[in-house]
Amino acid sequence: MGKTLFDKIWDAHTVTDITGGPTQLYIDRHYCHEVTSPQAFDGLRGRGLKVRRPDRTFSTPDHNIPTLNQDRPIADPVSARQVDTLLKNAGEFGITLFPLGDEHNGIIHVMGPENGLTLPGSTIVCGDSHTSTHGAFGAVAFGIGTSEVEMVLATQCILQPRPKTMRITVDGRLGSGVTSKDMALYIIAQLGTGGATGYFVEYAGDAVRALSMEQRMTLCNLSIEMGARGGMIAPDQTTFDYLKGREFAPSGKEWDEAVAYWRTLPSDDDAVYDREVRFDAADIEPRVTYGTNPGMGIGISEPVPLPPDDAAARLSFEKALAYMGFRQGESLEGQKVDYVFLGSCTNGRIEDFRAFASYVKGRRKHPDVTAWLVPGSWKVRRQISEEGLDKVLEEAGFEIRQPGCSACLAMNDDKVPAGCLSVSTSNRNFEGRQGPGARTVLAGPLVAAAAAVHGVITDPRKS
């Protein structure tokens, strides 16, 4: 029987299979940020241990940082301590750190790929659920908890039960004005937020193959929101073209050898998955969420659905609608928008800024909308200027902030006020996610741009 992409990478990294227990898996790349690493480093210190492979460990502050005046000391004392602790730990344990202001600094899941640290065929972990993003390169990448961060720091290995495999095939082509964010939100709505629990997902099919690397990252990023352990896409020419010449990617003879190996990774024709699901790209339109989890989403032209039959599910559905202030049967189009957030490890890359700018070009931001445009990294920020997108955005009344997780989660200064409706390109719309009482509608960059211009939720294909 043939092997899947996942099997090939997992098997190549298996140190020991513990009978009746987990696998001891070797980790190629370990990313750390300021939120989930402090106790792990404390644990090492307490036990007098070193980091096993500092050369394979890369860190950057992203969650607690402000997105204005990053050259000044961080005002919030908790955030300042978090960031400072990462700085000290990186120095003490000799791991690479990209501090605030460094040209490599950015959201960890934006920083890794754009610097060529995320490579096909590798195992990648980070104390962060959206580590699934890196699977876009054909890597086994997954989020881990703080005690596991300590385990990887100390041993460069992790104990993991082998997940089941699921292939999600999307046939056909995405329509114009439809992005991979819409594809991801569509899939999550079909499968439910627990639909992929216990599985590692591989995305396949013509619609997936046609995606750029950045769109693939957006798709894999959201895998975790349907419970998947991770999401991945087989590496191909698109992957190699993206990686070639990036700072930490192999070069010269090593590049040729790496590509030759990477070409062997796609699943064999006779590989068998534990579960197979198929969708048609033609069924996907720009998406918006109406509730308080990423699975509560609809096509922008659809009404908020009827409540589910199950009594408990009905209760949480009604609670979500009450929180969001939406009614079943009504359309989200035309709902007043207070905030727009373009950014996060889901949609904070250059292509997202290009898409947003393409819509707002020659138009104006609506005066009642507060818009936060937050690049995912300093490299993205620089490219925005190099491509002249900053001019387009500024002429349309937008201001670009400095990189960070920002309004994706209320862990820094960028909080959406209670009661306000925010159209956000991030990945979570939980109650209070963007600030206590804030109401979040998840969408792609084009829907976000249309909302920012019109001040109400608008189908970007219409106007």
Q: Which is nearer to ligand IPM, 63 or 287 (CB)?
A: 63
- 107 binding ligand IPM? (CB under 6 A): no
- 349 binding ligand SF4? (CB under 6 A): no
Which residue, chain included where needed, has tokens 């909080």?
415
| Buried-state track 36-56, b at ≥16 Cβ within 10 A, e below 16 | bbbebbebbeeeeeebbbeeb
Distance (Å, rounded) from C-alpha 179 to C-alpha 449? 13
Pattern of binders to ligand IPM over 18-57, x per CB under 6 A?
Answer: -----------------xx---------------------
> Which does residue 143 touch among ligand SF4, ligand IPM, none (CB within 5 to 8 A, set by kind)?
ligand IPM
- 63 binding ligand IPM? (CB under 6 A): yes
Distance (Å, rounded) from C-alpha 75 to C-alpha 11? 47
Compute the least distance from the CB of residue 311 to ligand SF4, in Å.
32
The full 3-state SS of 127-194, as one line of letters, equals: CCHHHHHHHHHCCEEEECCHHHHHHHHHHCEEEECCCEEEEEEEECCCCCCCCHHHHHHHHHHHHCCC
Compute the least distance from the CB of residue 409 to ligand IPM, in Å.
5
212, exposed or middle or buried, with CB in 10 Å at 0-12, 13-18, 19+? middle
Number of residues that bind ligand IPM (CB under 6 A): 8
Compute the least distance from the CB of residue 341 to ligand SF4, in Å.
10
Q: Which is nearer to ligand SF4, 23 or 425 (CB)?
A: 425
Pattern of binders to ligand SF4 over 325-344, x per CB under 6 A?
Answer: -------------------x
Pattern of binders to ligand IPM over 123-142, x per CB under 6 A?
Answer: -----xxx------------
Task: Report how far apart, in Å, the C-alpha atoms of 447 and of each of 110, 324, 409, 423, 459 are.
Answer: 22, 18, 20, 8, 6
420 in a known ligand binding site: no
Distance (Å, rounded) from C-alpha 126 to C-alpha 129? 8
Pattern of binders to ligand SF4 over 63-92, x per CB under 6 A?
Answer: x-----------------------------
- 409 binding ligand IPM? (CB under 6 A): yes
- Cβ–Cβ < 8 Å for 7, 1: no
* 248: region left, alpha or beta (phi > 0 left; psi from -120 to 50 alpha): alpha
Q: Which is nearer to ligand SF4, 427 or 440 (CB)?
A: 427
126 in a known ligand binding site: no
Tell me the two tokens of residue 223: 């895998």
Distance (Å, rounded) from C-alpha 397 to C-alpha 370? 10
Number of residues that bind ligand SF4 (CB under 6 A): 13
Q: Could you give phi then psi for residue 132, rounded to 5 degrees?
A: -55, -25
Distance (Å, rounded) from C-alpha 425 to C-alpha 290? 14
- 405 binding ligand SF4? (CB under 6 A): yes
Number of residues assigned to the chain? 463
Q: Which is nearer to ligand IPM, 129 or 377 (CB)?
A: 129
Using CB under 6 A, pick the residue from 191, 408, 452, 456 that binds ligand SF4: 408
| Buried-state track 288-317, b at ≥16 Cβ within 10 A, e below 16 | bbbbbbbbbbbbbeebbeebeeeeeeeebb
408 in a known ligand binding site: yes
Q: Which is nearer to ligand IPM, 130 or 181 (CB)?
A: 130
> Which does residue 292 touch among ligand SF4, ligand IPM, none (CB within 5 to 8 A, set by kind)?
none
- 60 binding ligand IPM? (CB under 6 A): no
Q: Which is nearer to ligand SF4, 30 or 130 (CB)?
A: 130
Of 286, 450, 422, nearest to 361 by C-alpha is: 450
- 143 binding ligand IPM? (CB under 6 A): yes
Which residue, chain included where needed, has tokens 């792609």?
444
Q: Residue numbers of the site for ligand IPM (CB under 6 A)? A: 35-36, 63, 128-130, 143, 409
Binding residues: 345, 405, 408
What is the contact surface with ligand SF4 in residues (CB under 6 A)? 62-63, 107, 109, 128, 130, 344-345, 405, 408-409, 426-427
Binding residue numbers for [4Fe-4S] cluster: 345, 405, 408
